[in-house]
Structure 1
Amino acid sequence: MILEVAILNIKSGLAADFEAAFNEAQKIISSMNGYVSHQLKKCLEEDDKYILLVTWKTLEAHTEGFRASTEYRDWKKLLHHFYEPFPIVEHYVEVESCNNKA
């Protein structure tokens, strides 16, 4: 599994509009081949800052499958105009995990 991580800085005052657009956009990404799950989290310290976490089966499912798809054009149209600056997207693999609530 691959974790895609993007820190999203939204133009000031557009957070509610971004969240509404993301509600539509998440239907696009969740329908893609190789998609597993996603979470959008809002920063407590900065009103216009979010983190998007998307789990993919493979790196290629995101970089080649989703980004090369016609659906990605719809995703871009819904969301990309909200970002300032444009987010850096990184991919991570699990090294170790612990689910112990000790």
Structure 2
Amino acid sequence: MILEVAILEIKPGLAEQFETAFKTASSIIASMSGYISHELQRCIETPNRYILLVRWQTLEDHTVGFRQSPDYQKWRSLLHHFYDPFPTVEHYQVV
């Protein structure tokens, strides 16, 4: 299992709209091959900051299967305009 970790900085005043769009986008990622689960959490100290955790069976399920799919373009159009700056995404594995 691979854990994708993304810190999402949302433009001020758009948190509620982002959360609504994310609910729609969740069905896109959940339908992808290799997807296991995901969770989105909001930072208490910095309300415009979120952490997205997505569990994938393999790294390629995310980097190729999802990122190179037509569905990724839908995901992108729903969410990417909320970010400032654009998030760094990292992948982790259990040691």
Q: Which TM-score applies when normalising by structure 1?
A: 0.93
Secondary structure of residue in 2 paired with 1:71: helix
Give yes or no for the alignment of 1:64 onto 2:83. no
State the Cα deviation string for residues 36-84 of structure 1 (Å, max 9, x = none). Answer: 0000000000010000000000000000000000000000000000000
The offset of 1:86, in angstroms, is 0.1
Identify unmatched segments of 5+ residues in structure 1. Answer: 96-102
Moved segments of 4+, more than 2 Å:
none
**Alpha-carbon distance in 1 for matches of 2:26, 2:92:** 21
Equivalent pairs, count: 95
2:85 is matched with which residue? 85
Q: What one-letter code is carried by the residue in structure 2 that aligns with 1:21?
A: A
Give yes or no for the alignment of 1:73 onto 2:64. no
Secondary structure of residue in 2 paired with 1:84: coil
Identify unmatched segments of 5+ residues in structure 2. Answer: none
**Alpha-carbon distance in 2 for matches of 1:39, 1:19:** 12
Secondary structure of residue in 1 paired with 2:5: strand
1:27 is matched with which residue? 27
Secondary structure of residue in 2 paired with 1:53: strand
In our comparison, the structure showing a higher alpha carbon Rg is 1
The offset of 1:28, in angstroms, is 0.1
